[in-house]
Structure 1
Amino acid sequence: MIINSVIFVLKNYGIEKICILFLSKTNFIMIRTIFFAFTFLFSALGVAQTTISGKVTDEQNQPIPGASIQISATTVGTVTDFNGEFNLSTDQNLPFKIIISSIGFTSQTIALSSAQSIEIQLKEETTSLGEIIISASRTPERIFESPVTVERFGLKEIKNTASVDFYDGLENLKGVDINTNSLTFKSINTRGFAAFANTRFVQLIDGMDNAAPALNFPLGNLLGMTEIDVQSVELLPGASSALYGANAFNGILFMRSKNPFDFEGISTYAKSGMTSQKAAGDNVFWDLGIRVAKKFSDKFAAKANFSYLKGTDWFAVSEENVLNPGTGRELPNYDGLNVYGDEVSTNIRAVGLALAENGIIPAAAVNLLPNESVSRTGYLERDLTNYEAESVKFDAALHYRPFADDFEIIYQGKIGKGATIYQGANRYSLKNFFLQQHKIEFKNDNFFVRGYMTDEDAGDSYDMRFTGINVNRYWKTDQQWFGEYAGAYVQSTLGGASSEQAHNIARQAADTGRLIPGTPEFEQAFNTVTTNADLATGSQFRDASQLYHADANYNFSHLIDFADIQVGGSYRTYRLNSFGTIFTDYDGPISYSELGLYTQIQKQLMDERLKLTGSLRYDKSELFEGQVTPRFSVGYTAGANRNHNLRASIQTAFRNPTTQDLYIGLDVGRAILVGSAENNLDRYQRTFNVNNSVANGGEATATISARDAYENSFLASSVQAGAPVASNVGLVKPEQAIAYEIGYRGQLGKFEIDLSGYYTDYTDFIANQNVIVPLYGQVGDNSQSLAALESDDFKVFQTYTNAKSGVQSYGASIAIATKVFNGFDLSGNYTYADFEQEDPDFRAGFNTPKHKFKASFGHTELVKNFGFNFSYRWSDSYFWQASFGDGNIPSITVLDAQLNYTVPSLKSIFKVGAANLSGEEYYTAYGTGLIGTQLYVSWTINNF
C-alpha cells in the first residue's frame, strides 16, 4: 500500500515543472530564498537541552575534519569541522555515551555524565580493512569481511586523488575501466563487454538509479553528484542481480551523499584550468560548486547543492576511411570516421541506367560508368558541433526525524542540464539535455521504503551523422547530386579523362555551389535540419521518457537472533515517449513494467570466523517469463589476529533486454535499428524507392517492416562473402550468467593485500546481428531476392537477438598497499581480463584491455599541511567493437599528479594538478576524440 501510494504521488504531483527554475540566475536566487525561508519555519521543532563541544586530533595533534561524533544507540550526532572542532546539541538527557570515529582511525567510545568540552585523540589504523561498507550485503559490515569483491572510494581518497574530479579518480580502482566519451561523459565498467551505452552496469545515487529512461544507462556524472556532497563511493564488480535485480550484471556503483544531520555548514569549491589537445588547442574550463546544509534540530535538517562546469570538449577529427581502412578521400566511395554525410552512396552505373531510361543520357553511355559505389561529399564533425561541454546540477533534500531517533523521512530532488557528446550507433550532440529525479523515502536502521521518478528531456540534441546527410539534401537532393555526378563522369570520359580524373571532375561538378561551413547559407540549413525531428529531412531527436521505481527492504536482525534475514522487492515502470524519433512510439508512449522480490539470510559461525550468505531473487517483466537468481557465498576469517579473510561465491545474474533492444526504430544511416519485442515488429514500416522496378513487378517503391528484418533477411556477413544465406534471427530474450569467484583479503606484515579471480559463463548473450533485407522477393527464392542484392535494392538492419553459442569471461586481479619511507602511501594493482566465444562470427564487443596496471604514490602530510599524490596507469591494446565502428585501441600510459596545501585558518585546501601529465594523447574507444592534458587549480573551502 505504501509503495503504491508513493508511485501515485510521483506520477501525479507534476513536480517536473519546477526544474526549469534554476536555469536562470534570478530564479536560482528565488529558490535559495524560498528554501531558507521554508527551512526556517522548522527551526522551532526541537529545543536543545544539552551541548557537548570539543576537538578531535590525530597522534600528531593535527585536526581531523569530518570525524563522526554520535550518541551511542541513536542516530543523533555531528561531525567535526575543518579545524577538528564540533558542537553537539541534543534534547537527550545525560548521562550517555558518544562514539568518535573517522575513516583511517580507530574508533573511541567515551561516557559523559555532564555537559563539557572534551579533546579526543584518535590513533591511525594501519590498514583500511576496518572500513564499513553497505553495498555487498545491504547491511553494514567491514570491507574485510565482505562476501564478494568490493572497492571503496571515500573522503580521504577524494581529497588525495590526482584526477581532476572524484569520478575520474574511480579509474584508479582495481579492475575498473572508464571509457571517455567526452569531457563531461565518462562510462564506468568492470569485467568486460564495455560500451558507452553500458546497460550491464548500474549506478545508484542515494538509492536512485540515475540511468536516463530512454537511453537505459547513466551518462556518467554529467547529471550526477556534486563532489563536495559525496560521502562515500562503493563499487561491486561482477554479478549483483540477486540483491539488485536486472542489469546489475557486470557491476554496480553506489554513491552516497552527506546527510545534513551529520554534515552541516557551507562548503564550496572553485576549480579552473586548461584542456590541451592538438586538434582543439588550449581551452579554459571552469568548475564551481556550493553545498549548504543545516541541522535545525534533532528532528529536522535540510541541504542544497549547486554546481556548474563549462569547458571545451575533445575534438574528434579522424578521417580514416571506415569502408577501406588505410585509404583516404581519394576513393570515390569514401566514408570518413568523423565525417558525416558521406554515408549516402549508390551504385553509379545504376544511376546511369535510370538516366538512360529517362532519356537524359544515351543508353550506350551507361557502359562508360563503372560498376561501383560513389558517396556524397561529407562534412567534418567539427563543422557540425561547437564542442561545448557543460554540466549544471542542483539538488535539495529535506530530512525529518519525527521522533528524534533513527526513523527518518526524506524528500530529495535532483535536476540537471548538460551539453556533451554521446557516441552510440552515431555521434550525438546533446544540447540542453535535461534530467530530473524526485524521491520520497522512509527508513530507519532496519528498513527502507522509497519511491522515485526519473524524467528526461532531450532538449536541443541532434544526430551529427544525419545533420551532415540532411544539410547535403537541403542543398541538393541525392537524386540530383548523383545524376550530375554520372553525367559529368560520362562527359569527361568521352573527353579522354582517365577513371580517376573523371571521378574528380564529376565530384567537382556535383559539388558546385555546395554549402560552406561558416556561411549564412550553411547556418540556415544547419538550424533548419537540427530542429527537425524527421530523419528523412532533419536530425533532431526528441525524448520525454520517464521511469517510475519503488523498492523496499526489511532487515529482521533486531527481531531474530539466529541469523541476519532480509526481505525486499522492487517495482519499475518505463514510459517511453520519443515522439517516434527513437522508438516506435508514433501513436503515443509505450509502457511496460518489471517486478522483483528477494530474500537473503546471513549466518556467522565458529566464533564469528565463518560467514555464510545465501540470497534468492525472483524477477518478472511483463514481456518475458520470470527469472530466478540465487547467490551463495562463504567467508572465513583466519589468523590469531583475525587479519586474513578467504571468500568464495557462486552468483547468478540476468539482464532484461533494454528499452532500445525492445522498441527502437531508428535509421542511423549505415543501418536501421529495430527492436525485437513481438509487438514492435509491425510498428516500424518504411517505404523505399527501388532501382530495378522490373524485378519488383513494375513497382517503383517497396514497403518493408521490422518483421522482415527478423523473418525475411540475409546474414550481412554472408552477403559480403558472396554467398548469401538466410539470417534466421531470433527475438531477443533475457540474458543469463553464472559467476564463480574466489578471493583473499588480509594483512601480511606491513602489506595490505586483496586478490580475486572470477569465471563467468553467459547464456543467451544479448547481441546485435546485422542483416540485409531485400526490397522484393523472399529469401531463398533464388531469383527476385538475389536480383534485389545485385541492384542495390536492399536495406541493412541491425537486429537485437541472443548469441546462439556460449560466451565465457574470466579474469583475476591483485592489489597491494603499504606505507614506505616513514609514512608515504604506496599502492599498486594489476588486472587480467579475457573472454572466449564459440561462434567466430559473433561480435561480442568485449572492449576491454587484457592487461592493466595501476599505481599510486603520495603522502597526505609530507610536511605540515602539504601533501601530494602521483597516479600511474597502463593498459594493453585491444580491439573495440561497437555499432559506430570497429578499430584497434593502442596501449596507453597515463600519469596524473597533484600537490595540495591546507590552510586551517581559511578552512581551505588548495590543489594544483595535471591529468595526463606527459601530454601523449590517447583514446579509449574507436571514433572518439583524442584525450589530451588537463591542467587545473582548485580551492575548496570547508569540505570535510
Structure 2
Amino acid sequence: MKIYLFILSLFFCGLSYSQTSISGSVKDSKDQPIPGANVKVAGESAGTVTDSNGNFTLTTTKKPPFDLEVSSVGYGSSTVSVTSNNQNVTVSLTEQETQLDEIVVSASRAPEKVRESPVTIERMTIRDIKKSASPTFYDGLENLKEVHMNTSSMSFKSINTRGFATVSNNRFMQLVDGMDNSSPLLNFVLGNLIGVSEIDVANVELLPGASSALYGANAFNGILFMNSKNPFKYQGISAYVKYGSTNQRAAGSNDYRDYGIRAAHKFNDYFAAKANFTYMKGTEWYATDYEDYGAPGRDRSHHNYNGLNVYGDEVSTNIRGVALGMLNAGVITPAQYTVFNAILPNENVSRTGYNEVDLTDNEVRNAKIDFSLHLRPFGNEKLEVIWQSKFGFGNTVYQGANRYYLNGFFMQQHKLELAGKNFFLRGYFTTEHGGQSYDMRFTGINVNRAWKPDATWFGQYAATYVQSTLGGATPTQAHGLARGAADTGRLIPGTPEFQSAFNSVIANPDVLSGSKLVDNSKIYHSDGNYNFKDLVKFAEIQVGGSYRLYDLNSFGRIYTDTEEFGGIDYDEYGAYTQVMKKFMDDRLKFTGSIRYDKSQNFDGSYSPRVSLVYSAGQNKNHIFRGSFQTGFRNPTTQDQYIGFNVGNAVLIGSAPDNLLRYSETLPVNTVAGQAFAGGATTVMNGEDAYYNSYTSSSVLQFSALAGTDPVAAAALLRRTNVDLVKPETVKAFELGYRGEVKGFSYDINGYYNIYNDFIGNITVVSPFYGTAQDSPSFTAGPTDPGFQTLHALTNGNTRNYQLYTNTDIEIKSIGFGVGVSKKVFKDFELGANYNYAEFDFDQAKDPSFEAGFNTPKHRVKATLSNDKLFKNFGFNISGRWSDEYLWQSTFADGIIEEATVIDAQISYGIPSLKSTFKLGATNLGGKEYKQVLGAGAIGQQYFVSLTINP
C-alpha cells in the first residue's frame, strides 16, 4: 500500500510539473518517413521513437532553448534546435553505408561503437526483424554469421556458436533483459519458450565465443542478449497476427497461427508500464526416422530391431536365456527346457515398439505473458526501478538421452532491478513446473508392459519359436510367427484401450510403470555492476559480481533428490573488474578484465581477458582487433546430481555425494550368476558405475569376438578409469577486422580455441559381480574376480551407465568467418557470410569419449533485400547452405546431411493504418532437412502476417 501511495504521489507531482511538448517528423533524403528513429533531448534521458509514419511527440520538463538529437540505424545522426513550446520540427537523416557507429553494450558491459568492440559481435535491430523472411525473429537469428541452429522442435531451437553443442547446449547463455532464461532443471535455454515477443524486441546482440571474463561460468562458447523495449521510450499498442501452414511429407499440411499484442504507456516522467501477450499454435515436425542406428541396415522385420523414433523396442533379451527363466518359474519342465535350449538361438529379441507420432498429440503450443512496471523517482534516467514478471507456457519436444514431450510445461521469472547511468543492481528468480510432461521411451516401454509383462511376452515368443521350428519353419519364419503370437492382444494406437493405458502411464512418475517427468526446480540469482567513468578519468573502470543458488526438486524422478536423501541445493558466486583505456588520439583501445568464480563443489578459478583494438585510416574506418581470454564452465546440475534411468542406461552425475544417492535392485540371470551375486537380485549404485566397470567400446569388441575366441576377447576388455567431473576450461585467441572498402562493409574474424578437461559423457558397462580389470583371465577359474566379470558379461548380468567426466585429451578448434555487405543498386542491400569450423580431437587416445562438435565445417549465408522496392513495398530473400557433418549425442550418433534452405518474404506498408502486411515462405526448395538426429525433418512453412505499430 505504501508503494502504491508513493507511486501515486509521484504521478500527481508529475502532473503539476511544467512540461514542454515538441512534435515533428523524421524523413530520409528521399522524403520517406523513417519509423523507429530515436529522438531525445541532448544531455537528458527524455526521449521517444518515431511511429510507422516517421512522426513523434516528445514531452520534457526542460524549458527551451535546447537541442534534440535524432538518430536511426543505417543513418547519420542530426541535431535540431528547439526554441519554443509546442514547436513542430522536421528532421532529415542521411543514409550511411557504415554500421561501425552503431552502439552495442554487451561486449564490454558499457555502451560503445561497434568499431570499438574488443570481440566479434553480431546484431539484430528492429529494422532487421521487420525485414526478416523467417516466421519469427528467433528463427531469423539463424541468418547471423557464426550461428548454427539445432532444431529439436518447431518451437525449440538451440543456438550453437563455435561448436560442441547438442539440443541441450549448456555452453551457451541467453539473457533476456539481463535474466538468464535457462531451465533450472535442465540447465540450458529452451529456445524462446520464455523469451520476448518480436514486437517488444528493442535489439539483439550476439557474442560468439568465450565471455566468462564478464559473464561467468556458462558464457563458454557464446552468449545472446535479447533486450526488450522500455515503455518510457516505446509507447502505444502494437499487435500482430500470423496465419499460414506447415508442410511435411510425414505430417501433411497443417495450420499455423501466431498472435501477439503489446501495450505500453508512459504516464509521466516518473512512471511507465507495459504488458505483452503472445500465443502460437501449430503441428510439430513429425519425427519418423525409423533407422536402427545401433545396427545400420536393420528394419522392422529383424527380431532385434531398435528404431530411432520407436519406443518400447529398447526392451531386449537373449531368447535362449528366457528358457531358464521359464524353467525356474515352473512354466516348462526340465525335459522341455532341454528342447528349448537346443532350438532357441543365442540371439537377442526386442519387444515391438510404438512410433513416436503415436505417443504425442503432435501439437506445438506456446504462450508468453510478461509485464513490467518502471519507476523513475527523479524523473530521469539517473535511477530507474523495474519490476518485471515473465511467464511461459507450452508444449514442445526436447531431446536429451531420450525424447521428452514437454506437455503443459510452465516457467516463470520475476525480477527487481535498480538501474542508473553507470550502474545496475538486479535480483531475480526462475521457477518451473513440468506440467504433464513425459519421457517417450518409457511411455512406449510401459504401455507395452501394461498389457503384457515382459516375462510373459518373451515366454510366449520363445514357446512359439520352438513350436514353429519343430513344425518345419525356417528361423526367419519362426521369428515372425513368434512375434505375432507374443503380440496377441497388443494395444493399438487410436483405440480406447490404448488411450487408457497411455493416460495411466504418462500420469505415473515411477519409471517401472510410468513416464511422467516431475519438476519444481528454482534458481535464485543476483548481480550488479558499477562503472566509475564519472569518478575516475584516466581510464574507464568497472567492477561487478553475481551470486546464484540452485534449488533442485525433481522428486527423485531425474535427480537424486528422493525423500530418503532430501533436496539438493548448492550455490556459486563470482566477481570481476575491467579497465578500458584509449591511446594514440583514441585510435588504440586497450581492454583488460579478470573474473573470479567459485562453485560450492569445485575450486575457484580466474578468467582473464585482454584485447587491443586499433582504428586505422583517415576516418578510422579500418579497425583491427585481437584478444586473448580464458573461459570456464562449471559442471551443470545434471553433470553433478542426475540419477536418471533412461531404460538402456542410467545417467549418473559425479558429485562426490551423489554416487551413493542413486541405487537400484536388479534381477540376476542364471543360477550360476545368482551364486556369484549372492542371490537372485543385486543392488547397484554410482560407485559401481565409476569404480567397477568396463568401457562400452571394449565390451563391444569383447562381444564381437567372445563366441569364437573367448581368450582373445577377454584381452580386449578395458576397465573404466575416469575421475569425477570438474570444470572445463578454454583458452581463446581471436583476430578480427572491420572496415569499408569502396562501399563494401567487411567483418572478418578468426579464432583458435584450446579446451582442457573437456566435459563429456562416457558409456560404461558394470558387471553385477566380480572386479573389473584390464584383460581379465578367461582361464583363471570361477573364484577369480576378473573371471566372474566375464561370466557376468556373457550372461547379461550387467548394467549400462552414462557417466559425466572430463577427458585428459586436449581438444582444439579453429574457425574463421567473413561477412560482407553493400548497397548494390539504389536501395538493394546485399549481404553474405561464410564460416569455417573444425576441431581436433585424437579419438584413438580416448575411444569411449564423444566430443560432440556437431557443427558443419562449411556454412554459407546470403540475403538480398530492399524495403523500398517501390512505394510501400519491400522484399527479402535469404539463403543458407551447410555441408554434412557428424552428429554425436547421448540419443544417437550419425550423419546430418548437407542442406540448402531459401526463405523469402514480400511486405506492403499501409501508413494510414500504421500497418504492414507480410507474405513469407521458408524452405522454398521443398527438400526436407534435419539439424538434429532423432528430431523431425524440417519441411516448408508459409505465412501471412499483419503487424500494427503505433
TM-score bracket relative to the smaller structure? over 0.9
- Which residue, 216, 222, 229 being the options, matches 2:193? 222
CA distance in 2, matches of 1:262, 1:45: 20
**Partner amino acid for 1:44?**
F
Structure 1 pair 281–622 and aligned structure 2 pair: CA distance change class (3 A): same
**Partner amino acid for 1:397?**
S
Moved more, 357-366 or 263-272: 357-366
SS of alignment partner, residue 492 of structure 1: helix
- The answer for the alignment partner of 1:749 in structure 2 is 742
Kept in 2: contact 1:98–1:112 (CA 8 A):
yes
CA distance in 1, matches of 2:525, 2:238: 32
**Partner amino acid for 1:391?**
N
- Alpha-carbon offset, residue 83 of structure 1: 1.4
State yes or no: 1:629 paired with 2:629: no
- The answer for the alignment partner of 1:380 in structure 2 is 355
- Alpha-carbon offset, residue 858 of structure 1: 1.3
- Which residue, 709, 720, 729 being the options, matches 1:736? 729
**Partner amino acid for 1:756?**
N
SS of alignment partner, residue 225 of structure 2: strand
Kept in 2: contact 1:223–1:418 (CA 8 A):
no
Kept in 2: contact 1:467–1:526 (CA 8 A):
yes
State yes or no: 1:777 paired with 2:753: no
- The answer for the alignment partner of 2:646 in structure 1 is 668
State yes or no: 1:243 paired with 2:214: yes
Kept in 1: contact 2:172–2:222 (CA 8 A):
yes
Kept in 2: contact 1:280–1:314 (CA 8 A):
yes
- Alpha-carbon offset, residue 87 of structure 1: 1.2
- Alpha-carbon offset, residue 111 of structure 1: 2.9
1:677-699 per-residue CA deviation (whole Å, 9 max, x = no partner) reads 00100000000001024233251
**Partner amino acid for 1:576?**
L
CA distance in 1, matches of 2:353, 2:738: 55
Structure 1 pair 520–649 and aligned structure 2 pair: CA distance change class (3 A): same
Moved more, 817-826 or 239-248: 817-826
CA distance in 2, matches of 1:236, 1:99: 29
SS of alignment partner, residue 442 of structure 2: helix
**Partner amino acid for 2:34?**
I
CA distance in 2, matches of 1:720, 1:277: 38
CA distance in 2, matches of 1:41, 1:284: 50
Structure 1 pair 868–40 and aligned structure 2 pair: CA distance change class (3 A): farther
CA distance in 2, matches of 1:799, 1:160: 46
- The answer for the alignment partner of 2:758 in structure 1 is 765
**Partner amino acid for 2:689?**
A
- The answer for the alignment partner of 2:868 in structure 1 is 861
5 Å-filtered alignment, 1:112-511, equals 112-115=82-85, 116-361=87-332, 362-365=336-339, 366-406=341-381, 407-511=383-487
- Alpha-carbon offset, residue 358 of structure 1: 4.0
State yes or no: 1:926 paired with 2:938: no
Percent identity over paired residues: 56
- The answer for the alignment partner of 1:819 in structure 2 is 823
State yes or no: 1:895 paired with 2:902: yes
SS of alignment partner, residue 849 of structure 1: coil
- Alpha-carbon offset, residue 142 of structure 1: 0.7
CA distance in 1, matches of 2:506, 2:692: 34
**Partner amino acid for 1:364?**
T
5 Å-filtered alignment, 1:662-811, equals 662-697=640-675, 698-722=678-702, 723-780=716-773, 781-811=785-815
5 Å-filtered alignment, 1:521-600, equals 521-587=497-563, 588-600=566-578
Question: TM-score with structure 1 length normalisation?
Answer: 0.95
**Partner amino acid for 1:647?**
R
SS of alignment partner, residue 481 of structure 1: helix
Moved more, 641-650 or 356-365: 356-365
CA distance in 1, matches of 2:271, 2:119: 37
The Cα RMSD (Å) is 1.3
Kept in 1: contact 2:764–2:802 (CA 8 A):
yes
- Alpha-carbon offset, residue 105 of structure 1: 1.1
**Partner amino acid for 2:732?**
A
SS of alignment partner, residue 598 of structure 2: strand
Kept in 1: contact 2:324–2:670 (CA 8 A):
no
SS of alignment partner, residue 481 of structure 2: helix
CA distance in 2, matches of 1:568, 1:387: 45
- The answer for the alignment partner of 1:911 in structure 2 is 918
SS of alignment partner, residue 855 of structure 2: coil
CA distance in 2, matches of 1:373, 1:696: 21
Kept in 1: contact 2:673–2:797 (CA 8 A):
no
CA distance in 1, matches of 2:548, 2:643: 23
- Alpha-carbon offset, residue 88 of structure 1: 1.1
- The answer for the alignment partner of 1:21 in structure 2 is none
**Partner amino acid for 1:869?**
N
- Alpha-carbon offset, residue 367 of structure 1: 1.7
Kept in 2: contact 1:820–1:826 (CA 8 A):
yes
Question: TM-score with structure 2 length normalisation?
Answer: 0.94
CA distance in 2, matches of 1:638, 1:349: 77
SS of alignment partner, residue 843 of structure 2: coil
Segments of 5+ residues of structure 2 without an aligned counterpart are 703-715, 774-784
**Partner amino acid for 1:892?**
A
State yes or no: 1:620 paired with 2:590: no
SS of alignment partner, residue 678 of structure 1: coil
- The answer for the alignment partner of 2:616 in structure 1 is 638
- Which residue, 40, 47, 56 being the options, matches 2:26? 56
- Which residue, 611, 622, 625 being the options, matches 1:647? 625
- Which residue, 87, 103, 113 being the options, matches 2:73? 103
- Alpha-carbon offset, residue 226 of structure 1: 0.4
CA distance in 2, matches of 1:221, 1:41: 38
CA distance in 1, matches of 2:22, 2:583: 40
1:382-427 per-residue CA deviation (whole Å, 9 max, x = no partner) reads 1100111001000000010000121100000001101011111111
CA distance in 2, matches of 1:45, 1:891: 63
- Alpha-carbon offset, residue 323 of structure 1: 2.2
Kept in 1: contact 2:887–2:896 (CA 8 A):
yes
- Alpha-carbon offset, residue 73 of structure 1: 1.8
CA distance in 2, matches of 1:321, 1:622: 42
Kept in 2: contact 1:155–1:231 (CA 8 A):
yes
**Partner amino acid for 2:166?**
A
CA distance in 2, matches of 1:123, 1:681: 65
- Which residue, 29, 53, 58 being the options, matches 1:88? 58
- Alpha-carbon offset, residue 38 of structure 1: 12
CA distance in 1, matches of 2:9, 2:323: 79
- The answer for the alignment partner of 2:709 in structure 1 is none
Moved more, 48-57 or 145-154: 48-57
1:290-335 per-residue CA deviation (whole Å, 9 max, x = no partner) reads 0000000011100000000011010001111122112201211110
CA distance in 2, matches of 1:686, 1:358: 23
Kept in 2: contact 1:342–1:375 (CA 8 A):
yes
CA distance in 1, matches of 2:537, 2:342: 89
Kept in 1: contact 2:293–2:894 (CA 8 A):
no
Kept in 2: contact 1:270–1:289 (CA 8 A):
yes
- The answer for the alignment partner of 2:890 in structure 1 is 883
CA distance in 1, matches of 2:770, 2:900: 53
- Alpha-carbon offset, residue 62 of structure 1: 1.1
Segments of 5+ residues of structure 1 without an aligned counterpart are 1-34
Moved more, 276-285 or 349-358: 349-358
**Partner amino acid for 1:97?**
D
- Alpha-carbon offset, residue 41 of structure 1: 8.6
CA distance in 2, matches of 1:695, 1:86: 82
- Alpha-carbon offset, residue 104 of structure 1: 1.1
CA distance in 2, matches of 1:884, 1:836: 23
Structure 1 pair 40–853 and aligned structure 2 pair: CA distance change class (3 A): farther
**Partner amino acid for 2:353?**
G
